[in-house]
Amino acid sequence: MGKKRIISKTEEELLKEREKIETAVKKEIKVETPQKIKEGRIYIFSSYNNIILTLTDPKGNVLYRTSAGQIGFKGTKKGTPFAASKVAETMAQATKKLGIEKIQVLVKGIGSGRESAIRSLAARDLDIGSIKDITPIPHNGCRPPKVRRT
């Protein structure tokens, strides 16, 4: 076996990567709604690999959705708390643009971005009415395998 080289990024490369992510977050948000909606729901789905935020009206019609992959994160970086906070910032911008004043937050999943997404939404001066965890929990689980005979 030969020597292993550790590739480390220079400061310039790190700055370029950060700048690219910030421009993706600040990208123009396209939102089309026929009437003004005062209340909405934000569904946060957080897995180990990605985080997805969906904005709906009280009936459940999707108004806007975004994810860490859509913003520009790739690979394992999509599941990080930093990526979740950036996705939540984008969602907060869309919510303000739509004119939604009060939101309900529904969280689903077991990823590491749950907490940071909620904190980022709260930091953006959104009026959060309630936070609810809707992660599915198995009641009795799967049937166990047959007993092994030797």
Domains of the chain are 36-133 (3.30.420.80)
pTM of the entire predicted model: 0.77
pLDDT at residue 140 in the model: 87
pLDDT at residue 16 in the model: 82
| Rounded distance between C-alpha atoms, residue 25 and residue 2, angstroms | 42
pLDDT at residue 34 in the model: 57
Query: pLDDT per position in the chain (150 positions), as tens?
Result: 567 676 777 888 878 887 877 777 666 566 655 577 899 999 999 999 999 999 999 999 999 999 999 999 999 999 999 999 999 999 999 999 999 999 999 999 999 999 999 999 999 989 999 999 999 988 888 898 999 998
| Rounded distance between C-alpha atoms, residue 131 and residue 108, angstroms | 11
